[in-house]
């Protein structure tokens, strides 16, 4: 396989397929779509902390993706706070909906600490996708290269932006939506693969 920089770029979800949940009607539509899914991609974003000893007040954004749509929930948004928290509790605590994502440890802890949500039925792909003998956890970039032979670009500049802003930029929206959607795509591809031969 060629080096990562030589791989063709991974084309993420289109902006037209991302929904910012802003109204009670948006929340109802998102809940209907997510509740009907067997698996959803899942991630959160938090405003970064830079001072020593500073505690995160996140998550500020929660991303949930079906196969064709990503839903972004700004959980600190005052006008819709109750609806968003109810939606998240229904989806994340459901044992019938599988949630998949990368590096979810902090996400789950923060959801429990900030919102009292105890997420059920979760697969952290960072460890689930490790091959026999691999010790390091697997990130989305490595998984995209391995499964799709494509290069996933993750901008550190976008990662460390302020996710608590009331208005997110288009780059923030696409970055966040891709984090959840690519996890679901990787999971579908992984589950569709025939099992490896013993000792592989």
For residue 21, the model assigns a pLDDT of: 95
According to DSSP, the residues that pair with 39 across neighbouring strands are: 98
First vs last C-alpha separation in the chain: 18
3-state secondary structure of 122: strand
pLDDT tens digits along 168-186: 999 999 999 999 999 999 9
- Whole-prediction pTM: 0.89
Residue 4 confidence class, pLDDT cut points 50, 70, 90: very low
pLDDT tens digits along 110-157: 999 999 999 999 999 999 998 887 777 789 999 999 999 999 988 778
Check residues 194 and 69 and name the one with the higher pLDDT: 69
The rounded percent of the chain whose pLDDT value lies above 70 is: 88
3-state secondary structure of 24: helix
Where do the domains of the chain lie, and which CATH numbers do they carry? Answer: 4-191 (3.30.420.10)
Q: Which of 27, 161, 18, 162 is nearest to 81 (CA)?
A: 27
């Amino acid at each position: 396989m060629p080096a990562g920089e030589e791989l063709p770029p991974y084309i993420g979800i289109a902006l037209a397929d991302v929904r910012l949940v802003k109204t009670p009607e948006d929340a109802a539509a998102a809940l209907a779509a997510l509740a009907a899914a067997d698996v959803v991609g899942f991630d959160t974003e938090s405003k970064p902390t830079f001072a020593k000893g500073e505690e995160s007040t996140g998550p500020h954004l929660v991303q949930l993706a079906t196969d064709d749509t990503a839903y972004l929930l700004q959980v600190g948004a005052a006008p819709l706070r109750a609806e968003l928290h109810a939606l998240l509790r229904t989806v994340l605590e459901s044992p019938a909906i599988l949630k998949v994502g990368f590096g979810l440890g902090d996400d789950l802890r923060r959801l429990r600490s900030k919102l009292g949500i105890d997420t059920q039925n979760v697969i952290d792909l960072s460890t689930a996708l490790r091959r026999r003998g691999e010790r390091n956890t697997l990130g989305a970039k490595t998984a995209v290269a391995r499964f799709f032979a494509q290069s996933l670009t993750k901008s550190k500049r976008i990662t460390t932006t302020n996710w608590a802003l009331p208005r997110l930029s288009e780059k923030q929206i696409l970055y966040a939506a891709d984090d959840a959607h690519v996890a679901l795509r990787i999971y579908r591809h992984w589950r569709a693969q025939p099992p490896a031969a013993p000792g592989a």
